Amino acid sequence: MGRYIVRRLLWTVLVVVLVTLLTFVIFFVLPKGDPATRFAGKSPTPELIQEVKESLGLDKSVPEQYGLFLKRLVTGDEYGWPGLGKSFQNKQPVRPELIQRAQVTITLIIGGALLWLAIGIPVGVISALRRGSVLDRVSMGTALFFVSAPVFWLGLLSLYVFWKQLGWLPGTGYVSFGASPGTWFSHMLLPWMVLALLFAAIYARVVRGNMIDVMTEDYIRTARAKGLSERRVVMKHELRTGITPVITLLAIDLGVLVGGTIVTETVFNLQGLGNWLLIAAQNNDLPVTLAVTVLVAAAVSILSLVADILYAVLDPRVRYQ
Amino acid sequence: MRPRKMGTWALFGALVLAGSLGLAACGGDDSGDSDTNGGDNGAAAAKGGIYRVGTTDFGFNGGFDPSGEYLGWAWDLYSNLLTRQLTGYRHTEGAAGVELVPDVAESIPEPTDNGTTWTFTLKKGVMFGPPVNREVTSKDYVTAFERIGTESVVAQYGFYYSDIVGMKEFKEGTSKTISGITTPDDHTIVFKTTKPIGDFGYRLAMPATGPMPAEVTDCFTKAGEYGRYVISSGPYMIKGSDKLDATSCKTMKPISGFNPTKQLSMVRNPNYDAATDSTEQREALPDGFEFIINTNQKDIFDKIEAGEYEDSVDAVPPDVARRYSTDDALKDRLKSFTDDSTNYIYMNLGEAPFDDVNVRKAVNFVMDKDALRRAWGGPLYGEIGTHIAPPTLYPGSTEFDGYDPYASENNAGDLAKAQEAMKASAYDTDKDGSCDAGSCSGVLFLNRSIDPFVKMSPVIRESLAKIGIKVQVRELPTGPAYETSGNVSNRIQIGANARWGKDYPDASTFMVLFDGRNILATGNSNYALTGMTAAQAKEFKVPYPKGGVPTVDADIDTCAAAIGDERAACWVALDKKLMEEVVPWVPYMFGKNTDLLGPAVTKWDFDQFSGEAAYAHVAVDPSKQK
């Protein structure tokens, strides 16, 4: 197991390097033009373009720039470790901003994940157990609705109802936990709910499907034949096996959401990583794009590893060499 | 400077509009223009309160360092609130707002030595805010110019000062001072230029030239760094400036009131003496300002409506504007003013079929400008464009009253006249008024992929099809679209991704777009390639038409050296020449800035210089704020 983990961690490093390389290639190859011109005013002179290139480090060859990026990433730069440089757009160091925004995004993801697991798993289990019932149909119909509903629409609708019309919750924005735990919670409640509703719906359907598959397995029939109580059959055998794939799903979802909560963050004015990545991509802000990309790649890889390990713990049939 | 963002939040805007909240799509038939003068908004204006402004993104492109920042709204903040240049404006709308007035200078001098020497006397008692706490002297203006001449600072519009004697040597490092700027005493500064510059006074009103305390700015020699440490010389300062420890470079930490991705807070500068200023320029009524990033544009306007914000930097969405403009109880809270920008379609003079002036004239005749304006949201968002530089840049001139060389009924295009023009073209071989040569098909048309530009593509495609020009539409996000059109080798034949705003109220800031000597291989802004020479075409590896490319370089030089009425008349003549003889553009709309005000706003004005809200003249009633 130890060797497996080390091998997977090395693989994570390789993934991060490949992803950053791909991002570099996309940045320099796809837009036909000189990125420096975007930061040189509306009527630049050749001298000014050169000044911008030097200022942004774009005067070096692409391989040199990539090498320098990797070197700074590993050894750090004047703003700390890992070295992520300065934003092309606002000229500010990327690292402190990344840390600040990551806190917002992680808060959103964790809160949302707890909610969607708390809703999705029970709904999926109950639907599977009451397959074909009115409850099952209503649950799955509702799930289908939330899977289909665009997040931005749900977000705007929830703001309209709970902030504008009812005035029960504050509107958009983020307040740190340290500043006021109560205000932090009230500001995060709607984003958590909106994010959770989509994923809860997906998880409910996944859990239901898995449970139904498991319920037809021979060993379940055997368990019942041995005289185990229905509660024990469901909780110990069906549920354990039925939700195991959810762990993989959860790990990948959490990793992807590190940079993927763009819509939720934008609608609720949570200045997290997703929203930052969107703005950076629109502005060709390479250092910010790379920083978020590295974080997402690392998060997906590491969380996948965690999922695989948990998988082995939960399912005795799985063993890693 | 870069004009304000129009229709940002591009990824979601169209979706939101199409969404469930019942909001109508853009492009309605607004028949009325809700232009109302600035001035009060109901209740009496009084001092006090915090004026709160929402924006989806600050959009600063120079880190808010006045030396390099080239965003119109940033200039608005500097000149209304933070810094005081030698010259300035009244920060009001219309012609009065673009008339140059002295700011820290006692008066605006007449140049001497054949227009090459400008001597300014500074007012006494103008003070820097905390932590500098000393009087602004002439040397602080020299510091600003030295920063402009420092390459690593990346002064984006430093080219406006390259004709100051000694600037070149300073920039190249062969001189430690700029010999053409001298300070005989603390309250006198003398500029010498290598040639007469008729608009030099305007250039001294630009924020990069504002006073900078060397004891702070010397610590920040890289692009954008000083933006977190801007020291005030105006009525407000960045909140937390008084906590800045300026005893050494190492002790300075960014001023707490400015986080470039979240908020900019300003409070009164305790050292500001209103006696050194005039209420005509700055009333400074609120006790402070909060500029807040809110990534949800719809939420910004909801908050304005609810009284949680007073104003927005983003343009008002068309559906919101329509609702306010048609409601008697609300329409006073909607403001719309021409912001001195021109939205235009450019045609590449080096590429067939647009290398033929008759084709270009035909395009001007056939274009449905009214439909293009509807794509933007209707008359609240612009006046129909009929020439190059907006009318405000020709103050007092009546030359453009009713001027439209390509007039059509309801501005919907005149097919008959377009066909007549096309018949005179070599690309209409059978003389039926339709472009029929091979180069009339598959014409590369570039546009932006965001709202409202995408709504213009079908209008342009259909207008051109009427005269036989079949375009191949390529839409890109704003940045890549500019990069693509600015790269000459891409050979974009026609494009609508561009709009241009003035840097200062002089037509020269538009005419630079037609200077053939400014054409660059990349980063080019003369998209029509007006004035391109055969040698340049060879260098850029693009074809050069047999008939050549028309040039106005000599006209530009003549006008640039002129002053006063002669100068104004010269630019007017050049504008008309471009429209009638060269025809590089279809200018379809003179842009307008729309603002929606919250219920607590008691006074508001528009700053014609920056094309944004005149924060120097706003007031708020705290009792109406939420």
β-pairing verdict for B311-312 and B50-55: parallel
Average pLDDT over chain A reads 88
Q: Do B156 and A41 touch (CB under 8 A)?
A: yes
Per-residue b/e over B139-174, b at no fewer than 16 CB within 10 Å?
A: bbbbbbbbbbbbbebbbbbbbbbebbbbbbbbbeee
Q: What pLDDT is recorded for position A320? A: 60
Q: Do B486 and A284 touch (CB under 8 A)?
A: no
- Residue A140 one-letter amino acid: M
Q: What pLDDT is recorded for position A9? A: 86
Of A35, A91, A156, the CB nearest to B227: A91
Q: What pLDDT is recorded for position A283? A: 79
DSSP B375: H
Show the tokens assigned to B201. Answer: 């006074």
- Domain spans in chain A, listed from the N-terminal domain onward: 2-94, 95-314
CATH topology of domain A95-314: MetI-like fold (1.10.3720)
Q: For tokens 């508001």, name the residue.
A: B604
- pLDDT digits over B455-474, tens only? 999 999 999 999 999 999 99
> Residues of A numbered 4-33 whose beta carbons fall under 8 angstroms of chain B's beta carbons: which are they?
31-33
ipTM for this prediction: 0.81
Q: What pLDDT is recorded for position B17? A: 32
- Domains with residue ranges and CATH for chain B: 47-85+97-298+614-624 (3.40.190.10), 338-592 (3.10.105.10)
Distance of alpha carbon A215 from alpha carbon A204, whole angstroms: 16
The shortest C-alpha distance from B65 to chain A (Å) reads: 10
Helix (H, G, I), strand (E, B) or coil at A80: strand
* Segment of B12-16, B233-237, B324-328 carrying the highest mean pLDDT: B233-237
Of A35, A46, A268, the CB nearest to B520: A46
> Which residues in B274-422 belong to E strands, given as ranges?
288-293, 311-312, 334-347, 382-384
Distance of alpha carbon B190 from alpha carbon B562, whole angstroms: 21
Q: Do B159 and A43 touch (CB under 8 A)?
A: yes
Q: Residues of A with CB below 8 A from B2's CB?
A: 42
Q: Is the pLDDT of residue B18 over 70?
A: no
Is residue B283 a contact partner of residue B617, using CB atoms and an 8 Å limit? yes
Both ends of chain B: CA-CA distance in Å? 34
Q: What pLDDT is recorded for position A37? A: 81
Q: Is the pLDDT of residue A114 over 80?
A: yes
User: How far are the Cα atoms of A6, A60, B610 from residue B150, in angstroms, in the given order?
Assistant: 50, 21, 26
The shortest C-alpha distance from A286 to chain B (Å) reads: 13
Helices (H), B204-296: 214-217
**Residue A71 dihedral angles phi and psi, to the nearest 5°:** -60, -45
CA-only gyration radius of chain B, Å: 25
Please name which of A195, A186, A188 lies closest in space to residue A269, comparing C-alpha atoms: A188
DSSP B161: G
Is residue B576 a contact partner of residue B387, using CB atoms and an 8 Å limit? yes
Percent of chain B with pLDDT over 70: 93
- Residue B558 one-letter amino acid: T
Residues 6 or more apart whose CB falls under 8 angstroms from that of B253 comprise B244, B245
Percent of chain A with pLDDT over 90: 43
Is residue A256 a contact partner of residue B453, using CB atoms and an 8 Å limit? no
Is residue A298 a contact partner of residue A12, using CB atoms and an 8 Å limit? yes
Show the tokens assigned to A308. Answer: 């695989």
- Residue A230 one-letter amino acid: E
- pLDDT digits over B481-533, tens only? 888 899 999 999 999 999 999 999 999 999 999 999 989 888 899 999 999 99
User: What is the DSSP annotation of B76-92?
Assistant: HHIIIII---SEE----
Of B9, B63, B512, the CB nearest to A91: B63
Is residue B416 a contact partner of residue B409, using CB atoms and an 8 Å limit? no
Distance of alpha carbon B429 from alpha carbon B449, whole angstroms: 35
Is residue B278 a contact partner of residue B72, using CB atoms and an 8 Å limit? no
Is residue A251 a contact partner of residue A304, using CB atoms and an 8 Å limit? yes
- pLDDT digits over B145-186, tens only? 999 999 999 899 999 999 999 999 999 999 999 999 999 999
Q: What pLDDT is recorded for position B22? A: 32
Pairs across A and B, CB distance < 8 A: 159
Q: What pLDDT is recorded for position B1? A: 55
pLDDT mean over A138-153:
90
Q: What pLDDT is recorded for position A318? A: 66
Distance of alpha carbon A164 from alpha carbon A226, whole angstroms: 58
Helices (H), A226-268: 230-232, 239-257, 262-267
DSSP B277: S
Closest-CA residue of chain B to A100: B261
> Residues of A numbered 69-128 whose beta carbons fall under 8 angstroms of chain B's beta carbons: which are they?
89-92, 97, 101
pLDDT mean over A248-269:
90
Q: For tokens 């033009």, name the residue.
A: A33
Confidence band of B10 (pLDDT split at 50, 70, 90):
very low
Does the CB of A287 have a partner CB in chain B at under 8 Å?
A: no
- pLDDT digits over B559-605, tens only? 998 888 899 999 999 999 999 999 999 999 999 999 999 999 999 99
Closest-CA residue of chain A to B54: A269
Q: What pTM does this model have? A: 0.86
Burial class (CB in 10 A: 0-12, 13-18, 19+), B176: exposed
Please name which of B219, B229, B200 lies closest in space to residue B82, comparing C-alpha atoms: B229
Q: Residues of B with CB below 8 A from A94's CB?
A: none
Q: Do B157 and A41 touch (CB under 8 A)?
A: yes
Residues 6 or more apart whose CB falls under 8 angstroms from that of A167 comprise none
Distance of alpha carbon B538 from alpha carbon A41, whole angstroms: 26
Q: Which residues are B264's β-sheet partners? A: B258, B291
Query: Can you give A179-229 as a three-state secondary structure string?
Result: CCHHHHHHHHHHHHHHHHHHHHHHHHHHHHHHHHHHHCCHHHHHHHHCCCC
